[in-house]
Amino acid sequence: MSWKRPDREERGYHHGNLREALIKAARELIKEKGPAGFTFADAARSAGVSAAAPYRHFRDRDALLADVAREGFQRFEAMLSTGWAGGKPDPVTAFHNIGRAYLAFARAEPAYYAAMFESGLPPDLNVELRAAGDRAFGVLRTAAETLVGLLPAGKRPPALMMSLHIWSLSHGIASLFGRGDAGRRSLPMTADELLESAMLIYLQGLGFPQKA
């Protein structure tokens, strides 16, 4: 019979799913200090494991951040897809709902949002991260392609260009005014109202019909 006392790493590893515990710890640290404000050892300490334990699953701090970002993009894709709802009740309304979903995500998930867009990670850091980001953007691309199809053949803007324009518009408003953290700036209207009016002006400029 061994009387060896389990070390901190063993206790931490067996208390649950180590990978998920580290991702959760990283999210909390990002929310508190930003994506650049903590070390790999900080994440381990916050998860209640030794500094060596994270290497069971992650090569380094960037690999941990990439997994947080990947998980964030998966949730982001789900929210955008819910907003789009297959183009229902009509493509223009559904397109506006994607913008609302974008802001809702930035507001509800500031840690994921920061890991995805403010960590400085290369999109191609790993295959899973790139694929998750592409799938999220794909929802916006599909919506733009559907909307473009409503215009006369000779007046259709490139769907990719349109989706990039709307992405930039939504992201700018979300980052400046729609965050759920201290990075949020004051605004004499809601972020949702600002985005809706900007999208109306943009779509009108392209010739999309507007509801009365």
Q: At what angle do helices 191-206 and 91-108 cross, to 10 degrees?
A: 150
Report how far residue 66's alpha carbon sits from residue 71's, in angstroms, rounded to the nearest whole number: 9
In terms of domains, do 147 and 202 share one?
yes
Please check whether residue 211 lies inside any domain of the structure: no
CATH of the domain at 121: 1.10.357.10
pLDDT in tens, 23-33: 999 999 999 99
- pLDDT score for 113: 95
In terms of domains, do 51 and 69 share one?
no
- pLDDT score for 6: 44
Residue 42 structural domain: 1-58
In terms of domains, do 170 and 198 share one?
yes
Report how far residue 140's alpha carbon sits from residue 163's, in angstroms, rounded to the nearest whole number: 6
- pLDDT score for 42: 94
In terms of domains, do 91 and 168 share one?
yes
- pLDDT score for 151: 92
Which residue ranges of the chain lie beneath pLDDT 70? 1-16, 181-184, 210-212
- pLDDT score for 56: 87
The rounded Cα 53 to chain-centroid distance in angstroms is 27
Report how far residue 11's alpha carbon sits from residue 92's, in angstroms, rounded to the nearest whole number: 54
In terms of domains, do 126 and 74 share one?
yes
In 3D space, the residue among 180, 77, 168 whose CA is nearest the CA of residue 129 turns out to be 77
- Asked if 91 contacts 143 with a C-beta cutoff of 8 angstroms, the reply is yes
- pLDDT score for 183: 65
- pTM assigned to the model: 0.86
- pLDDT score for 16: 57
- pLDDT score for 182: 65
- pLDDT score for 201: 94
- pLDDT score for 211: 62
Residue where a domain terminates, one of 58, 85, 107: 58
In terms of domains, do 31 and 111 share one?
no
pLDDT in tens, 82-101: 999 999 999 999 999 999 99
- pLDDT score for 12: 44
Residue where a domain terminates, one of 11, 36, 58: 58
Please check whether residue 102 lies inside any domain of the structure: yes
Within 10 A of 194 (CB to CB), how many other CB atoms are there?
19
In terms of domains, do 28 and 85 share one?
no
